[in-house]
């Protein structure tokens, strides 16, 4: 049976890997909407290849270019933030939310409001909107499938079990490219070094987050919302081989883990086929070749980001949205060569200590906290 899908963030790393799986199973899917930020020619060629119903570019100034690139086709074109949300609200069997950053929140919420199935890769949306997003899921009756590899692993390990029987959820972290670096080396880390992840091929922002360990901090908050077992039952462990993608320990001390190649197409395939399974092009896991799996406690002196994330979710209210916004601005500044690597968590901590805003109650509240925190951090940057 053919199913319909929209991909928000089709030109990104997750978007492309999703389309790779769809390309291999073309007869199973009908593509409704594909969206991108600014890579118009890439978006247009994907829209043509997959015969999308609509292609949307976030940057309004690029609309004429998109229209030109898709002239002579039946594919509708649109641009701007509202158009992204309208496209995300078109009825489909599955929406893959794979925009990076809080920019993906409103379109993701528009998809959730349809009450269908949403595969969520866009962790920043859940970190910023937390309870607001989860409430929308409950109210619309949508099914949320975690696409982030750790959360997908936990989701799989929880299948057929009650959350009440969970003793502990362990998020594994690769430790990133700087796992063994000294503080001095971290000070001098460059954007090129930060985006060169040892195990995963990902977009620039999440690669920097992996290097600072903020990715794991965001994932800790993400896990808290997706699997509400209480913060005291959530922990992080560094596992450099990225073979175990996360684990669930039950009260009888039985631990279930999900293992697989470090390729996002595995968790994406789990979402595409859920509750069934599908083939992926990956080689089987060769444990004898991997040889050893190792585990380390996180070092929050060199990598304070997981502490900041834990403190933000313990504080609650607007703090996670401030944490996320500050991190997005700081990461962009690092990638642009404006600040050093170790300034990223420092700026996040400064932003968190600057104010305590009331808990956001709706999407607009989250977006205004996000905007205010961004402006604030931008100001910190300019006066640095
Ligand atoms: P990416 O940078 O490769 O792609 C991001 C996509 O979002 C692109 O299609 C881009 O055009 C679009 N986009 C960017 N800014 C936008 C804006 N302002 N408005 C509308 N669209 C915008 O990112 P990615 O690595 O694919 O990550 C996407 C999301 O998935 C992130 O939230 C990331 O944390 C999460 N994730 C990624 C991976 C991975 O392996 N790449 C793994 C787990 C989770
Ligand atoms: Mg992850």
Give the residues surrounding ligand 1 with Cβ less than 6 Å away: 9-15, 36-37, 39, 58, 98-101, 103, 121-124, 148-149, 200, 202-203, 205-206, 264
Q: Which pLDDT value is given to residue 200?
A: 81
E strands, the chain, are: 3-8, 29-36, 54-57, 76-79, 94-97, 117-120, 143-146, 166-173, 234-238, 244-250, 255-259
Given the CA of residue 14, which atom of ligand 1 is nearest to it?
26
- Return the CATH fold of 316-384: Rna Polymerase Sigma Factor; Chain: A (1.10.1740)
Counting from 1 in the atom list of ligand 1, the atom nearest the Cα of 218 is 34
Asked whether the beta carbons of 144 and 204 are under 8 A apart, the reply is: no
Question: Which of 187, 171, 219 is CA-nearest to residue 327?
Answer: 219
Let me know how long the chain is.
384
The residue nearest atom 18 of ligand 1, judged by CA position, is 103
pLDDT value for 369: 96
Question: Which ligand has its closest atom nearest to the C-alpha of 266?
Answer: 1
CA neighbor of 36 nearest in space, from 191, 136, 19? 19
* Residue closest by Cα to atom 4 of ligand 1: 12
Distances (CA, A) of 305 to 41, 209, 292, 328, 347: 36, 9, 28, 13, 11
Cα 254–Cα 256–Cα 262 angle in degrees, nearest 5: 155
Residue nearest atom 23 of ligand 1, based on CA coordinates: 203
Strand partners, 144: 118
Task: Please give the number of the atom of ligand 1 that sits closest to the Cα of 123.
Answer: 32
* Residue ranges covered by each domain of the chain: 3-146, 147-303, 316-384
C-alpha 294 – ligand 2 centre gap (Å): 18
The CATH architecture of the domain made up of 3-146 is: 3-Layer(aba) Sandwich (3.40)
pTM of this structure? 0.98
The position carrying tokens 């993906």 is 104
Tell me, yes or no, if the two domains 3-146 and 316-384 fold the same way: no
pLDDT along the chain (384 residues), means of 10: 97 98 98 97 98 98 98 98 98 98 98 98 98 98 98 98 98 97 98 90 95 98 98 98 98 98 97 98 96 98 98 96 98 98 98 87 97 94 83
Q: Which atom of ligand 1 is nearest to the CA of 209?
A: 34
Instruction: Quickly count: other Cβ atoms within 10 Å of residue 366's Cβ.
Output: 28
Residue in 17, 47, 98, 213 to alter for ligand 1 test, most ligand atoms within 8 A of Cβ? 98
Q: Note the pLDDT of residue 197.
A: 83
pLDDT value for 198: 83
The CA 34 to ligand 1 mean position distance, Å, reads: 13
Residue written as token pair 């996360």? 246
Q: Ligand 2 center to residue 88 CA distance, Å? A: 23
Residue 299 Cα to chain centre, angstroms: 23
| Cα(222) to centroid(ligand 2), Å | 10
| 264 CA distance to ligand 1 middle (Å) | 13
Residue whose token pair is 């919302």: 225
Nearest residue to 147 (alpha-carbon basis) of 166, 175, 126: 126
Q: Whose CA is nearest to atom 20 of ligand 1?
A: 37
The pLDDT value recorded for residue 356 is 76
Contact 12, 98 (CB under 8 A): yes
């Amino acid at each position: 049976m053919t199913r319909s899908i929209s991909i928000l963030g089709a030109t990104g790393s997750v978007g492309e890997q999703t389309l790779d799986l769809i390309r291999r199973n073309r007869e199973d899917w009908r593509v409704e909407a594909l969206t991108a930020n600014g890579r118009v020619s890439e978006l247009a060629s994907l829209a043509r290849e997959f015969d999308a119903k609509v292609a949307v570019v976030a940057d309004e100034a690029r609309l004429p270019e998109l229209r030109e690139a898709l002239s002579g086709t039946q594919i509708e074109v649109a641009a701007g933030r509202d158009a992204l949300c309208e496209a995300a609200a078109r009825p489909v069997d599955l929406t893959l939310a794979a925009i990076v950053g809080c920019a993906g929140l409103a379109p993701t919420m528009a998809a959730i409001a349809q009450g269908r199935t949403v595969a969520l890769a866009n962790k920043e949306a859940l970190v910023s909107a937390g309870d607001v997003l989860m409430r929308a899921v409950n109210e619309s009756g949508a099914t949320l499938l975690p696409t982030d590899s750790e959360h997908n692993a936990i989701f799989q390990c929880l299948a057929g079990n009650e959350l009440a029987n969970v003793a502990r959820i362990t998020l594994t972290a690769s430790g990133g490219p700087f796992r063994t670096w000294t503080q001095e080396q971290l000070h001098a880390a460059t954007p090129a070094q930060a985006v060169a992840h040892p195990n995963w091929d990902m977009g620039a922002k999440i690669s920097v987050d992996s290097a600072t360990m903020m990715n794991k901090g965001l994932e800790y908050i993400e896990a808290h919302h997706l699997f509400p077992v209480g913060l005291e039952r959530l922990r992080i462990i560094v596992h450099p081989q990225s073979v175990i993608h996360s684990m669930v320990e039950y009260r009888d001390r039985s631990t279930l883990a999900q293992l697989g190649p470090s390729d996002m197409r595995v968790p994406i395939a789990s979402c595409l086929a859920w509750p069934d399974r599908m083939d992926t092009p990956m080689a089987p896991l060769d444990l004898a070749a991997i040889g050893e799996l190792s585990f380390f406690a996180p070092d929050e002196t060199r990598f304070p980001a997981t502490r900041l994330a834990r403190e933000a979710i313990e504080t609650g209210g607007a703090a996670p949205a401030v944490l996320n916004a500050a991190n997005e601005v700081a990461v962009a500044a690092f990638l642009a060569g404006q600040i050093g690597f170790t300034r990223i968590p420092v700026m996040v901590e400064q932003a968190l200590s600057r104010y305590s805003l009331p808990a956001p109650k709706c999407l607009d509240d989250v977006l205004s906290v996000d905007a205010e925190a961004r402006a604030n951090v931008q100001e910190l940057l300019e006066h640095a």
